[in-house]
Every structure is written in C-alpha cells, then in structure tokens.
Structure 1
Amino acid sequence: MSPTPTTDEALQNAVEAELRTVRDPEADVSVFEAGLIENIHTTDGTVIIEVDLHDFPPQEAESVTATLMKAASAVDGVRRAHVEQVPSRPDTDGRTAGIGTADRVIAVASAKGGVGKSTVATGIARSISAAGDSVGLFDADIHGPNVPELMEVSGPVHSDDDGNPIPVEKRRVEIMSVGLMSDSAPLAWRGAMAHDALSELFEETSWHDPDTIIIDLPPGTGDIALTTLEAVPIDGVVFVTTPFHAAVSDTHRSLQLFEENDVPVLGVVSNMGEFICDNCGEPHDLFSDGDPIAALNRPVLAELPFDETLQEFPTVSDQELPASLRSLGDAVSERYDDIWSVDVPPEALDIRGMNAENRYDAIENEFAELESGEPMYVVSDRDPSPLQSHLVDLSDGIEELDTFAVKQQNPETWLVRTVRP
C-alpha cells in the first residue's frame, strides 16, 4: 500500500496519476490525452478538478464526472473531491476587432457617481437585447468597473486567433470590462495609463457583429470621457441623474461637452426620484425641489423609482425584466431613430459623399433646371450655409434669396429648402 501524501503538491501528483488511468471510452485515450482535464487544485485534502465537457451530451457528461470523482476520492489523503465545469470557450469565427463594428454606439453618462448609471446602462443593454437586437456592453469605467458584478459575470477573458480579447457573454449580451481582467484590487491608474488601456480595449476587443454597443462611461467629464469621445464614433448619449438641483446643474454642464463634440443627447433618465412605501403602497418623493430636470430642456426617457426590483433585475430572465426597463430600452431606440432617420423628399438633391467639384456641378445643374418660384431641396453631410451665397451668384439681379431654410437633422445630415427667384 502506497504511503499517504503529506503535502498539497504530493496529493495533487497522486490524484493526477490516478486520473491518468481513466480513459475516454469512445476515443480510447486517457482523459488527459482527450483534453478533458483543465486543471487540478488541492488544499488540505480537498480536490477540485476543472474539466471541459462542453462537447459531451448531458448524460455522458454526468457519467464522466462521476467516474472522475470516484477515481480522485480513491486516492489516500483525499477527503473531498469536486468536479467543476470550466466556462465554455467562445467561438472565434465571424468576429471583428474594434468598437466601430457595431451599427450604432450609445454611451450612458452621468455628471456624478451613485446615481445608478451602471444599472441604467445594463438595463438598456438587456432591454434592447430582449427586443431582438444583438448587443454589446462595454464598461469604460476603469476605476470602478461595476458591470461584471451587475451582470454576474467573471473571467477568464479568452482571445481570438490574433490575440484580441473576446467579450464574455451573458443572456445574449457580450460584455467587456477591465474588471473581467483584473482582481478585486482598485485600479489606481493615472491619466496616461488609463488612456492607453482604454484605447487598446476599444480597438482590440473582438465583437461578434453586435447591432448596438452600450458604453458605460465613468461619472464626470474627465480623461476617460474625453478619450472615448476621441476614439469612438458615438451616435448618441443618455444621461442619468437624480432629480436633485445640484446633480441636474452638473448634468447640464456635462451634456454640453457631448453636444460640442457633435454627439446627440438622446435624453435623460431621472433615477431614484421616489419610492413606493411597503406599508401604504403610495409613492413618496425623495427630493422636494419640484422638477429641476425640466430645465435641461431634453427629452426625459424614463423616471425610475428607488425600487429593489431594479437592483435585482440581472438575476431574472429577459422575459421578467421590469416594465420600466423595457420601456426605457424602447424609448432609447425610438429617440435614436428620430435623430438618425432622415425623411428626404423624393425630389431632393442628395450631395452626401460627393467631392467639392461634383457638389457644385450638381447644385448648378439642379438650380438651372428650375422655373422661377419652384422649390429646391438639398441633403448635405456638411454645413450648407455657404450654399446660399453661391445660389445668389447664380441668380441675376438679386442680393439675397427670399427662402433659404436649413435644418440640421443630426451631426452628419443637413436639409436645405430654397426657392428659385
């Protein structure tokens, strides 16, 4: 009879030797040769065997698990044996590196911390996913990444064939966060380090062609927000605030930063403004300053109460999402469509994408064919204000046009209506 191993290392070696005698009956090789054993951990007589049985049908996987536990338990010195399934390795096919792979990128921001921004960001992602879109959720709050905890995910983060990190998937949402690649220690990164780390994740994360990516930004308008504005083509931003006058004042200054960088503000989420009393069932305001959010003059996408169900929602299925979050996802998508869907008259001249010479040729030809009093519509991807003086030059004996109306539909589209003199 062999002596009982006296150290964790010796016990691990003994367990490994015993497991090498276990064979895969179909392939007629050992479980190690078949690649089923990922790792073995031993601590004070407790053995944990990490295995990869994803390719096995459930009954066969249970049979292999039982065989491994029996073999490990038979080793002298083993008091308890456990078999744990490692997370499945993501498919590397059909992936593209870079956050720009998404059809639309929506940021979720706040001027202050503690207003529920990450909860709202995960709620929007889950809601849009439940509506049928494929969704990515990027946690850009590198100093306090909360998304992994809210979505109940953890590493390891695998890589594709080019070494690019692959997001972790949960409930049909792809999730990337610095928090998935670090331990629980705080990330005390200075500006340059944070900028470099975030830029690399933006450029290198390998997504599976999501329709929408939601970016959870850190609070405020610091380096990370500026880095995101420089590195990512953001199509819209949702601001989260409590209905408290100081928080709303800071929100006003923050949303101006995004608009100055040509990012449309989709709207505002008012969070934790009231709670429902368990005893009387009546709503009670948590702030008594009237309606300061109205001063922002932006659409209010949702007014979310202080509600325990919103704190628990990541644990429930998509079908059980709180109605307020489902409505929020719909409101974000509708507002996005209002901004980015351009209703172009069928007779309009579309000069988007043309070079300068072709633009002017097309405009001159269109204008020349009009009779006096006929309207002319132009769709442009740059500010068309200089067009007015050019049309005046093309007209005889006038100093200005009677009609020249410009509407900026979104940061990339202008609509012009004028009338031939």
Structure 2
Amino acid sequence: MSANAPSDETVQNDVEAKLRSVRDPEADVSVFEAGLIENIHTRDGTVIIEADLGDFPPQEAESVTATLVKAASEVAGVDRAHVQQVPSQPDTDGRTAGMGTADRVIAVASAKGGVGKSTVATGIARSLAAAGESVGLFDADIHGPNIPELLEVSGPVHSDADGDPIPVEKRGIEVMSVGLMSDSAPLAWRGAMAHDALSELFDDTRWDDPETIVIDLPPGTGDIALTTLEAVPIDGVVFVTTPFQAAVSDTHRSLQLFEENDVPVLGVVSNMGEFVCDSCGETHDLFSERDPIDALHRPVLAELPFDEQFQAFPTVADEALPDSLRELGEAVSDRYEEIWSVDTPPEAIDLRGMDAETRYETIESHFAAAESGETLHVISDRDPSPLQSHLVEISEEVGSLDEFAVKQQNPETWLVRTVRP
C-alpha cells in the first residue's frame, strides 16, 4: 500500500458516497434506499460490498452486481471490488402459524397435470396482490413444486426462534413451497411421508397476516388433496382445465370430491383453448369448436389463451399484469362474495349459534305469532330438515305445511323460506 494512498476509512466513505449515486431503475431510488446494501468492508484497497439481491432473478442480480462493482472500482484507492450476496433475514415479529391465520383460503385444483394449474394459481395471487390485498401462495404440489420457478424465488427458508418456517417474500407475495427447501433432486416421497411433511408445513408455517392464501394443489384426487381437505379450512376451490373432453370429464369427478367435503366450487378456468398466431395475428382454436366445459354447470371464471405473458412475473405486483389475469382475480373475489355473503330480509329469524332447545322455542314462537299466509324467512347454521318436521307437526292443527324451501348458501349457512298455513 502506497504511503500516499487514502486510508481505509476514507476509501470506505468514498465508496459509500459513490454507491449512493447508483439508482434502482425500476423503483427510482438509490440502492441504499432500496435496502440492497447491507454493509461495506474496506481493507488495503479491497472493497467487499455485502448486498441483499434475493428479490432479483439471477440475470438481474448479475447486472446489479456488475453495476456495483463498476461504481466502487471508480473510487480512488480501490484496487479490487467484490459483491458478496447475503440472504435477507425476514422479520419474525407478529407472525402466526397455520393456514387459519388468513381471512380466506382459496385452493386451485385440476384433474390432470399440464393444464396450467400452477400458472393460474400464480396469476390469481398476482391479481389479488395488485388489487392491494396481502397474499400468501402455498405450493402444495409436493411432487412437482413449480411455484418457485414461476416466481423466480429461491431459498433458504428462514425460521423463527421456535424453528417454524417463514415464507419467502417476492414483491408483496409470501411464498411457501417444498421446492424452496429441497435441491433439484426428485421428491420420491410415499404417501405417509408426503402427508406428514405437508401437514407440518400447513401447521407450522408462520405467515405475516395475509388476507388471502392461495393453495396450488397437485393434480388429481390423491393423498395430497385429501390431506389438504382434512387439514385446511378451504373457503373455495377454482378448477383449471383445458376445453378437451377427457380433461373436462375428469374435472367433473374431481369437483364432486370437494363438494362432498363442503368446499364451495368458485368456478372453472378454461385454459389454453386458443392462441393468437404471431405471423398472421389470427386466433386459432387448439381443441374442437364444441366447448364441453358448459356440461360442468359451474361458472366459468375466465377463458385464458395460450400466452407466454402469463408466465412472466413483473418487478411490481401490478406491473404489466395482463387484463385477463386481473379480471380472473376480480371474478374469483366476486364469486367468493356471492357464496359467502348472506343477504336476507331484516325480519329473518336468525337461528345461528343457538342450541337445539332454543332453536325450537324460537321457531315455534315466530310461527305461532305469524298470520295465516305470512311468509317466514329463517337463517340456520345447520341442516334445517329437523325444523321442517317440527313445523309439520305444529301445522297439523291448522293445515298442511305447503312450502318449506331450503337453499344452502354456503357450507355454514342455510336459508329457509316457509309460509304459515
């Protein structure tokens, strides 16, 4: 080191000043304001810049690294500059373990693989995040975890003081996946192993209070789907299929499994049914013109073409979000509200939360006080069939009970309309 060379302290101050002029072009802030620079070490002309570049895809991280090295190397007294990437340490305060921490849990399922299920799950999460929601994305496709690749996220997965895993955050979306905790080797787990591993992740993952968690399920109705139905309070499921007869037939059987387990089907996404030719600009159908999805008799939330833009994850949650994905997220939210919002007359008899004896006393008193021909509306949090039998017995004194219409609004709410004879 030359006697006239600046001191390590001077070089470090000059390097820091130089780096403060380097700006993140996407966010238009300096690399310090963006929180990328963790520390700077200077000794005998060698500068080591500790930077957190975990949110950048590999190619962008290399570009940022080169920019930082170039800026530091221009400072007098710097002979060599190096960027050392450090993993970001997530905040562990205020986090809650388990899927129940979210206001709602929406599963994305398919009967077959290769229909774009993970792409749709990612698109829904992106759309909800772009609308201002705090969103978690759980990759439960334990044998083929694609979410980390689609979102360009990687481990390590950090843990809190109790050893519980903390999701990796990617530009406003919390992500948890077995793929973040394994190398590139195949995951050859048998049923019991997969069940235990997934159940543990469901129970122990510590989320930062997301409004919605989107679960990407594996295709089919195997052990993982059943484990999820047992372990997670799912508020609705979105099915993804191509408009191909065999795929739709299998989807119909899968729909029944979820409905039998009291999970409302929010709707169906018809994916990759067409594409726009780059050369001629015309739209071409990839399957037959007849659309078998109508036979499912479920709302079609979106019809997505085969398009590479659905696989791109922008720098900001709402940046360059395709309109079709934005509309898909809105359709999912609207359908959720349609199912879970209870709209009844203000005079409705609300039996929710009552024990059996109180329920019967309440319905009897309202029924007795009603005028002949008066319509009564009832809200119940359990199957109202026993109430119907009870009212039939009461009605024998005044005539038959001609009307007792029941609508199950959602797995937790039944709406009843009856008429006093």
Query: Is this a same-fold pair by TM over 0.5?
Result: yes
Deviations 1:91-123 (A, max 9, x none): 112211000111110000011111110000000
* TM-score in terms of structure 2 length: 0.82
1:93 alignment partner in structure 2: 93
1:149 alignment partner in structure 2: 149
Q: Aligned partners of 2:399, 2:76: CA distance in 1, in Å?
A: 95
Shift of 1:276: 0.4
Of stretches 104-113 and 286-295 in structure 1, the one that deviates more from structure 2 is 286-295
1:228 alignment partner in structure 2: 228
Q: Aligned partners of 1:341, 1:354: CA distance in 2, in Å?
A: 20
> How do residues 9-408 of structure 1 correspond to structure 2 at under 5 angstroms?
66=72, 82-288=82-288, 290-314=290-314, 317-397=317-397, 400-408=400-408
In the alignment, structure 1 segments of 5+ residues that lack a partner are 2-18, 26-35, 39-46, 55-61, 75-79
State the SS of the aligned residue for 1:408. Answer: strand
| Aligned AA (1:233) | P
Of stretches 312-321 and 363-372 in structure 1, the one that deviates more from structure 2 is 312-321
Q: Aligned partners of 2:332, 2:404: CA distance in 1, in Å?
A: 32
Q: Aligned partners of 2:128, 2:317: CA distance in 1, in Å?
A: 14
Q: Aligned partners of 1:324, 1:37: CA distance in 2, in Å?
A: 42
Shift of 1:289: 5.0
**CA RMSD for the aligned pairs?**
3.1
Shift of 1:365: 2.0
Aligned length: 374
| Aligned AA (1:341) | S
State the SS of the aligned residue for 2:385. Answer: coil
Q: Aligned partners of 2:264, 2:396: CA distance in 1, in Å?
A: 40
2:4 alignment partner in structure 1: none
Q: Aligned partners of 2:177, 2:299: CA distance in 1, in Å?
A: 29
Q: Aligned partners of 1:381, 1:264: CA distance in 2, in Å?
A: 16
- Tell whether the 8 Å contact from 2:129 to 2:317 is kept in structure 1 after alignment: no
Shift of 1:396: 4.5
Q: Aligned partners of 2:399, 2:87: CA distance in 1, in Å?
A: 72
Deviations 1:196-218 (A, max 9, x none): 00000000000111111000000
Q: Residues 370 and 398 (structure 1 numbering): CA distance in 2 closer, same or farther, change over 3 Å?
A: closer
Q: Aligned partners of 2:204, 2:76: CA distance in 1, in Å?
A: 44
Q: Aligned partners of 1:254, 1:242: CA distance in 2, in Å?
A: 14
The ranges of structure 1 where at least 4 consecutive aligned residues each deviate by more than 3 angstroms after the TM superposition are: 22-25, 47-54, 313-317
Q: Aligned partners of 1:337, 1:154: CA distance in 2, in Å?
A: 34
Q: Aligned partners of 1:152, 1:52: CA distance in 2, in Å?
A: 15
Q: Aligned partners of 2:229, 2:404: CA distance in 1, in Å?
A: 33
Q: Residues 66 and 280 (structure 1 numbering): CA distance in 2 closer, same or farther, change over 3 Å?
A: closer
In the alignment, structure 2 segments of 5+ residues that lack a partner are 2-7, 15-37, 41-46, 55-67
Q: Aligned partners of 1:53, 1:401: CA distance in 2, in Å?
A: 70
State the SS of the aligned residue for 1:121. Answer: helix
